[in-house]
Amino acid sequence: MRKILIGFIENGKAGGVDRYLLNFFETIWKEEVQIDFLTNEIDKELQKMFEEKNVRLFRTASLKRPVRQYRQVRKLIQKYQYDTVYLNISTAIDCVAAWAAKKENVPMRILHSHASGNDCENVLVRFLFNMIHYFSKITLYHTGTKFYGCSKKAGLWMFPKRIVESERFRVIFNAVDAEKFRYDAQVRNNIRNELGLGNTFVVGHVGNFCYVKNYPFLIDVFAKVMKQIPDAQLILAGNGLQFNDVKRRVREMGLERNVLFLGWRADIEAVFQAMDVFVFPSRFEGLGFVGVEAQLSGLPLVASDRVPEELKITEDCRFLSLNQSPEVWSDVIVNSKRENRGELRLLDNIPEFDLRKHSKELKGIVEIGG
């Protein structure tokens, strides 16, 4: 029996990496393959779902205790004799499990980059983390046998250029179940009624409340949108460390009647239906999984130029510089609304994001046939 250890997952809800891992798991899962996951904190709901398919969820120390994590991962590999260790990481600092797998001579050691920067708001701390990342990056690739990225930009962030431009590296886009996000007028009416939106113009964003997502700029942009459309609404779905800070900023700017904080939603595909434009002003992204989902919902997308161009899958995707004023962003947003959401104007690269067409490629990562 093939044995695969995958890391690290949080709770299946935390963001793009978790959603990718769950989609990946559902695609490759077979009864004759033992799949286990690493986590830093056991989520009971996720654990229950995994147990139904004989999947084990192992808790290890966080990177705050690297030596402990290293020993724990080594012990797991020794005990269960994995053929493959597949690590999905955001910075080269996340190298501990990779070195443990190399030390235990795991035959297949896969490193998959999902970011293109350090998510840290404090300038000095971010500088320190970047320095540690770049030093870790010098040797990280020695631990891997296969290398992937959710974009080329994510690959260059994690691995040396000679690796990314070689046959040892491949881009694997975060695939989406396109049918799940298809525009539905009835769902739009229902969710708008639930949220009390009526027929007003709705700007939307979905994501963790953190430095990388650039919420202060998003709020400034929306304030300019309201100058043009006074009854416009902004809906924000997600949780995170900056949640209360963003709410405070909204309150201080007098926008609380026009900004809805939805928290985490299990029905995010329905939330997309309520929007008219999706705004994505990230400071950086590995790819921007949520932007693909938004476009598949028929939404125009206005994104920063720090987001990889591979994200663009429809003609209604615009990239703007973060150096441009909130007024410029506002003008583009207000003029982006589409009247016919049902007619997707897809580009030729959409098969690369379609989960149903992506199955063979995902199974190829860990070399599972069928």
Q: Which domains does the chain have, with CATH numbers?
A: 2-174+354-365 (3.40.50.2000), 178-352 (3.40.50.2000)
Q: What is the pTM of this model?
A: 0.85
In this predicted structure, what is the pLDDT of residue 177? 77
In this predicted structure, what is the pLDDT of residue 356? 64
In this predicted structure, what is the pLDDT of residue 364? 81
d(CA 352, CA 337): 26
In this predicted structure, what is the pLDDT of residue 121? 82
Q: Tens of pLDDT along the chain (370 residues)?
A: 889 999 999 876 656 788 888 888 888 887 788 999 999 999 998 999 899 989 999 999 999 999 999 999 999 999 999 999 999 999 999 999 999 999 999 999 999 999 999 888 888 989 999 999 999 999 999 999 999 998 999 999 999 999 999 999 999 877 777 788 999 999 999 999 999 999 999 999 999 999 999 999 999 999 999 999 999 999 999 998 899 999 999 999 999 999 999 998 989 999 999 999 999 999 999 888 899 899 999 999 999 999 998 889 898 999 999 999 999 999 999 999 887 887 777 776 555 666 666 677 778 888 775 5
* Residue 100 tokens, joined: 């443990």
In this predicted structure, what is the pLDDT of residue 120? 85
> How far from chain centre, in Å, is Cα 200?
29
In this predicted structure, what is the pLDDT of residue 14? 55
